[in-house]
């Protein structure tokens, strides 16, 4: 189970219409006669425990009432209800599993029954966990506190197939936004649910993965699971089903986009959508055969698997499980905290629970719900006890990430010590730098500092300020002194570009620290082998007077940064950090550039000021405003006037427009997530490749079809093959076995079928992390709900001639509001010190956790009959800005 929390706002009738129309013919086949559109649960939480009550199913009318916030049995509203389109109706998470589980269920009715029962138990666990940990906020604005809920309601919408009619068993678990607490119906604190997503995903996955009934059913049919949970015998065939599902969905989206163009302001009805479904199915299949009903559909699944080469296992296999008693709980807790620390600076108990729930099935435990839950809760409690609070106070809400570990704190402390020691060395610049007439004043100052003598330099520059030109001049100045400029970057791809453009040695940071004896594993354990100088690769050796320049330093994690400083300290080399704090942060614990900027004196902190990249000088000024996040509404209006904002009525129309652009040009198209990028890639490819050219093209394990002329990216470094992660290539040949011949900037490469199947993807569009460092003629940004300030700034500065933001909005005013929201989102992980200040900010924004003795007072204070708050009661409420404890960062 993976994914995020989705919010549903707006019309209850629209939610009902969507749910009723979202069942395919396969769903109708599986659902019993008289089944409602959703299962209904009510959960009561008290000192005696949690009671989950399965209520009668919701049909269309009662589901609509439930969404709107009414008690479906009495018809009474749950408190004071909002009726505007922005009102939150419910939050949703999805309980699903690997595609192969659904394929196996399609083949074996008894296995399907076991899987369905396990999913039901998983949904109940998720609902129960939410009820036990959800809160609502009570009190006057500015003085609100969070109190636990006493009652929630949930709806579960069950699907057996995907929208395209392929096997895809999944449950939509919807938590109603009206909850009961402190004597009244109130609004759910939805942020708390979002911050608990790791626990919800972990519980949903482990509840099925560890289910004895489901695992026994799999083993009886001869199926075994790999480490990720995929059924090994079916995994090679899942990609074909995923590819067809994706194709059918894109066909429907294409029909809808064309229809909306011809019928502006209208909405398609259920019958029209059903006709699109049937047409899309036919268009996606060479035989054009559309199953007439669910029985026919299931038969076709079985036939297709057989035609792909799948044969049912002959013999059952043994269920092999690790007993709970064999698990070393102290070692498990240490591993959980190490994994969390490798990914982030701070966490909450829900993050711990999520990591625990990943660990339990990974070590092979199969156990009933009670035993697994006891183990998970015990490991979580032990891990929480081993954490260090960032703020030592008893009123921090559970969802706020206030926990860290001694190791995380130690790494940042040692990094700060290394920086603080280096800044004590004064900056000494050399005499006149020759051959610098092509540089501006700020660039010459940077070259002089790099060619001089310093312990640490921090060099910042906006996008397009000529960092590559400056480094090339610095390399020449250092060469003249018989000194070496060694550039390291966060990625191998960036290192290759630096080597080519700057003309100096350049390596990935991971390669350099590995050559110098540092070792780490996928869980986050670090160690160092003490190597003599002659044991280190010659290219990785630093000498006194050398300059170790860390490019894109803002994207470097703290563990790698600490290792690089240790290498430079041992060699007595200068360290220079080059980057931009306004561009993309590290994936994990970052903040190197921010920490160094705080400690570095002005003489060692230089800024590249003039933007040279853009053809339009006025756009250069706009880019600097985007960098600072200043006056986003004014920037939006200026971009709109230049034709650089494109507002689309729906997402399908935006995708169709971008597919046209991608098919007709080499423009760079950028989106937030890999899911968005994957959808855009496939849509663009549909526009570029005629259907009759697709026979014999390989389909990757992720379900992407690869053909001649396609632009693809390699997604895993492989020195033997000569490819780097995110290298972009064009397919020039396809072998009979699925191997690929590709060409790119680095020349020609042959990719074996196994590598192509797992590590090659279409690259007509890119994530923003894949686009950073690129410079093109024109770029396009897909602005979504998760787009943040750094992502927008990076994406809107890739194109020399134009950079267009594509938004889905009801009006220009709505788009302007969305744009302003983008530049208010910045959740970069800048280390535990910064995380501590974020705890204070979150408490200020969301309120403190109510202490047990004050909850009844809060409830009394908020009753409708209390017209005026007594003075002595007011004084007992938490302050709007609570006193800060002596925790981390003080």
| 105, 436, 781 from 462: Cα distances, Å | 54, 21, 19
Beta bridge partners of 457: 576
Domain boundaries of the chain, sorted by first residue: 3-263+296-306, 405-606, 615-807
Compute the C-alpha angle 763/765/766, nearest 5°: 90
> Do 444 and 433 touch, CB atoms closer than 8 A?
yes
Euclidean distance between CA atoms 460 and 446, whole angstroms: 10
Helical spans, DSSP H, in 768-808: 768-771, 789-795
Instruction: Give me the CATH topology for the region 615-807.
Output: SH3 type barrels. (2.30.30)
Beta bridge partners of 505: 486
Euclidean distance between CA atoms 383 and 352, whole angstroms: 7
> What pLDDT, on a 0 to 100 scale, did the predictor assign at position 292?
57
CA neighbor of 189 nearest in space, from 139, 126, 155, 121: 139
Euclidean distance between CA atoms 78 and 706, whole angstroms: 53
Q: At 457, which helix (H) or strand (E)?
A: strand 456-461
Low-confidence residues of the chain: pLDDT under 50: 25, 29, 33-34, 288, 692-693, 853, 855-890
Compute the C-alpha angle 348/351/354, nearest 5°: 150
Q: What's the distance, Cα to Cα, between the start and end of the chain in Å?
A: 39
Euclidean distance between CA atoms 672 and 237, whole angstroms: 29
> What pLDDT, on a 0 to 100 scale, did the predictor assign at position 859?
46
> Do 488 and 573 touch, CB atoms closer than 8 A?
no
Euclidean distance between CA atoms 599 and 386, whole angstroms: 31
Euclidean distance between CA atoms 442 and 611, whole angstroms: 11
> What pLDDT, on a 0 to 100 scale, did the predictor assign at position 352?
98
Residue 82 phi/psi, 5-degree rounding, is -85, 145
CATH of 405-606, one of 3.40.50.300, 1.10.760.10, 1.10.10.60, 3.40.50.970: 3.40.50.300
- Alpha-carbon Rg of the chain, whole angstroms? 29
Asked, colleague to colleague, whether 405-606 and 615-807 share their fold, the answer is no
DSSP 538: G
Q: At 796, which helix (H) or strand (E)?
A: none
Beta bridge partners of 178: 187
The SS3 call for residue 578 is strand
Whole-model pTM: value is: 0.88
């Amino acid at each position: 189970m993976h994914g995020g929390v989705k919010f549903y706002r707006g019309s209850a009738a629209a939610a009902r219409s969507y749910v009723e129309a979202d069942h395919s013919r396969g769903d109708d086949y599986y659902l019993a006669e008289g089944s409602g559109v959703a299962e209904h649960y009510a959960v009561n939480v008290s000192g005696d425990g949690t009671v989950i009550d399965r209520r009668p199913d919701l049909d269309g009318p009662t589901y609509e009432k439930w969404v709107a916030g009414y008690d479906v049995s009495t018809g009474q509203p749950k408190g004071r209800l909002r009726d505007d389109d922005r009102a939150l109706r419910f939050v949703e998470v999805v309980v699903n599993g690997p595609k192969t589980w659904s394929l196996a269920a399609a083949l074996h009715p008894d296995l399907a029954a076991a899987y369905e029962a396990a999913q039901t138990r998983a949904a109940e666990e998720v609902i129960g966990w939410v009820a036990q940990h959800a809160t609502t906020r009570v009190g006057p604005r500015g003085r609100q506190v969070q109190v636990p809920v006493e009652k929630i309601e949930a709806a579960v919408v069950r699907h057996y197939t995907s929208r395209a009619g392929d096997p895809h068993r999944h449950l939509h678990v919807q938590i109603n936004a009206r909850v009961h607490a402190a004597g009244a119906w109130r609004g759910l604190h939805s942020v708390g649910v979002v911050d608990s997503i790791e626990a919800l995903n972990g519980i949903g996955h482990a509840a099925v993965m560890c289910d004895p009934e489901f695992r026994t059913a799999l083993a009886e049919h001869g199926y075994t699971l790999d480490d990720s949970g995929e059924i090994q015998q079916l995994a090679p065939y899942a990609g074909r089903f995923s590819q067809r599902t994706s194709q059918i969905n894109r066909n429907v989206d294409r029909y809808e986009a064309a229809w909306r163009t011809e019928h502006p302001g209208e909405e398609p009805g259920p019958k029209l959508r059903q006709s699109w479904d049937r047409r899309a199915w036919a268009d996606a299949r060479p035989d054009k055969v559309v199953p007439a009903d669910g029985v026919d559909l299931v038969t076709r699944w079985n036939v297709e698997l057989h035609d792909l080469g799948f044969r049912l296992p002959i013999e059952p296999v043994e269920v092999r499980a690790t007993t709970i008693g064999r698990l070393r709980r102290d070692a498990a807790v240490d591993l959980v905290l190490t994994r969390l620390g490798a990914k982030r600076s701070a966490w909450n108990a829900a993050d711990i629970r999520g990591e625990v729930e990943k660990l339990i099935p990974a070590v092979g435990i199969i156990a009933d719900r009670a035993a697994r839950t006891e183990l998970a809760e015990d490991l979580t409690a032990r891990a929480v006890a081993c954490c260090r609070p960032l703020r030592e106070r008893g009123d921090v809400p559970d969802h706020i990430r206030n926990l860290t570990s001694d190791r995380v704190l130690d790494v940042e402390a040692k990094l700060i010590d290394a920086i603080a020691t280096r800044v004590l060395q004064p900056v000494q610049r050399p005499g006149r730098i020759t051959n610098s007439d092509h540089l501006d004043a700020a660039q010459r100052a940077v070259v002089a500092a790099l060619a001089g003598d310093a312990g640490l330099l921090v060099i910042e520059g906006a996008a397009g300020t000529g960092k590559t030109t400056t480094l090339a001049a610095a390399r020449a100045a250092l060469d003249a002194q018989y000194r070496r400029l060694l550039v390291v970057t966060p990625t191998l791809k960036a290192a290759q570009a630096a080597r080519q453009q700057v003309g100096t040695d350049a390596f990935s940071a991971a390669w350099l620290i590995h050559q110098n004896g540092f070792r780490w594993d996928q869980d986050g354990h670090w160690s160092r082998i003490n190597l003599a100088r002659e044991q280190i690769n010659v290219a990785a050796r630093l000498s006194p007077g050398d300059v170790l320049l860390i490019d894109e330093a803002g994207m470097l994690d703290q563990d790698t940064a600490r290792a690089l400083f240790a290498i430079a300290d041992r060699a007595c080399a200068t360290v220079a950090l080059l980057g931009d704090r306004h561009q993309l942060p590290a994936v994990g614990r970052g903040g190197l550039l921010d920490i160094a900027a705080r400690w570095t004196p002005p003489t060692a902190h230089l800024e590249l000021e003039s933007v040279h990249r853009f053809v339009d000088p006025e756009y250069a000024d706009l880019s600097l405003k985007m960098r600072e996040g200043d006056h986003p509404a004014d920037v939006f209006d200026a971009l709109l006037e230049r034709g650089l904002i494109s507002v689309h009525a729906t997402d399908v129309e935006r995708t169709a427009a971008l597919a046209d652009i991608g098919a007709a040009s080499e423009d760079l198209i950028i989106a937030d997530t890999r899911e968005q990028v994957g959808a855009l890639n496939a849509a663009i490819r549909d526009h570029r490749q005629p259907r009759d050219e697709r026979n014999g093209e390989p389909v990757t394990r992720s379900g992407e079809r690869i053909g001649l002329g396609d632009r693809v990216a390699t997604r895993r470094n492989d020195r033997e093959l000569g490819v780097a992660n995110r290298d972009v290539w064009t397919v020039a040949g396809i072998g009979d076995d699925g191997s690929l011949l590709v060409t790119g900037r680095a020349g020609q490469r042959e990719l074996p079928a196994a590598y192509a199947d797992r590590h090659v993807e279409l690259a007509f569009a890119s994530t923003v992390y894949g686009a950073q460092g690129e410079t093109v003629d024109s770029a396009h940004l897909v602005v979504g709900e998760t787009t943040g300030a750094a992502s927008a700034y990076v994406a809107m500065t890739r194109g020399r001639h134009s950079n267009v933001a594509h938004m889905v909005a009801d009006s220009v005013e709505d788009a302007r509001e969305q744009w302003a929201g983008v530049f208010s989102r910045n959740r970069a992980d800048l280390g535990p010190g910064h995380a501590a200040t974020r705890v204070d900010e979150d408490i200020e924004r969301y309120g403190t956790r109510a202490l047990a003795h004050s909850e009844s007072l809060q409830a009394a204070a908020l009753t409708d009959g209390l017209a005026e708050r007594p003075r002595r009661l007011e004084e007992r409420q938490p302050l709007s800005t609570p006193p800060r404890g002596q925790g981390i960062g003080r």
